[in-house]
Amino acid sequence: MLSPEPPYPLRGGGAFRIASLLHYFARFADVDLIFLSDSGKAAEIPAGLVRRQIVVPLPAHSRKQAARYWRNARRAWKGVPPLVDRMAGLEAQVTRALEGEHYDLGLVEHFWPANYVEQLKPHCDQMFLDLHNVESTLHERCAVTAGGLVAAGHRYFGRRCRALEACVLPQYSLVLATSAVDREQVRRIAPEATSAVYPNAYPYTERTDVPFDPATVVFSGNFEYHPNIDGVRYLMRDIWPLIAARIPGVRLLLVGKGAEFVRAYVDGTAGVEMTGPVEDAVGQIARGAVVIAPLRTGSGTRLKILEAWAARRAVVATPLAAEGLDVVSGQNALLVDEPANFAEAVCRLLANAPQRQALADNGLQTLRDKYTWEAAWVTLDTLPQVTRFRELSSYTG
């Protein structure tokens, strides 16, 4: 398994998805993890889950805004998308990590290091690529909500990603997509690529419901990530003033890392709390009565909705935020788009405990039925490429 993001600790949608696949394959195979690391430190993986872990440090770079703008300008000149460029240039290190090894299966996490298929293929009988989203679609959608040079950059990188996807995806034995929506995009981009759906999932365990504040609304996510940054900007500019005007004393809880990236949008607004990084996102989400996902851009499916269901809380989301998930508006969430309608839905739920509880209960049941790790693993069990791999192992089910 080659990953640019650690599977542990379990924080964020990427880590949960990587960990779900790691746990699946570790049930019947020895797993080696090659981890491309910003810190140069090994991932904190539970004992016995991997046979060995090889850390490939990424070159250090500044996280300051001016440095990011300069890097992206250089990447535009080179014609290489940002995160693809960030993961590039490590061919020699990856080759050394594979030296003398042969694997029945190679699995690459995320599109960003997908080009390392050239280094992995000679050592692997099969190659899978796990797409956490469709990168070209992500850039194209970000361009719609951005402006000026930022929008132009997203449009350009979207085109570059589309060209790379068309070239790289067919080189894999199997491409995993998060939803039928993403799989259809893969089919349009690379018709000759073999693809299947492996849904995002949550390692659900029963938990006792915790006391919550009936006047608190929760928005969770990685606030370093552009779709969530845009979601906070959209929320504070167009939606939250409408909610605050109708419900005096209403509070907003932003759960997740990256507070510094959205602080400018919430400073000076009464009743807003930012948690920063948390160990137990579901526990923090459960502090509120209503969970919101006011996203206008993004790709893949959103773990924030699965976490809200795991916390047994009612969800109000834009249709795009719920894209690819089995959401039926009015049954396990409320899907609304326009700011006034979004604010109205939140206010209605804050005032209506029975409706909140019904949505929360149905959401939790949807999670149990379709989006636990065990439920997601059933989809892998049905794939012929995985069946062939299992037949080489001592798998007994």
The answer on 172 and 274 residing in a single domain is: no
Residues in the chain: 397
pLDDT of res. 164? 96
* pLDDT in the model for residue 393: 64
Would 208 be classed as within a structural domain?
no
Intervals of the chain under pLDDT 70: 393-397
Q: Domains in the chain: how many in total?
A: 2
Q: Looking at the domain assignment, is residue 377 inside a domain?
A: yes
Query: Do residues 15 and 118 share a domain?
Result: yes
Structure confidence by residue, pLDDT tens digits, 209-236: 788 999 999 999 999 999 999 999 999 9
Give the predicted TM-score (pTM) of the model. 0.92
The domain containing residue 325 runs over which residues? 213-370
Order of strands, edge to edge, in the sheet holding 288-293? 272-274, 251-255, 213-220, 288-293, 314-317, 334-335
- Give the pLDDT confidence score for residue 42 in this predicted structure: 87
Same domain, 217 and 178: no
Same domain, 354 and 291: yes
pLDDT of amino acid 120: 96
Domain containing residue 127: CATH number: 3.40.50.2000
Which among 278, 279, 227 has a CA at the least distance from the CA of 254?
A: 278
Question: Has residue 207 been placed in a domain?
Answer: no
Residue 396 lies in a domain: no
pLDDT of the residue at 395: 40
The pLDDT of residue 126 is 94
Same domain, 225 and 345: yes
Give the burial class of 279: count Cβ atoms within 10 A of its Cβ; 0-12 exposed, 13-18 middle, 19 or more buried: exposed
Asked if 234 and 278 sit in the same domain, the reply is: yes
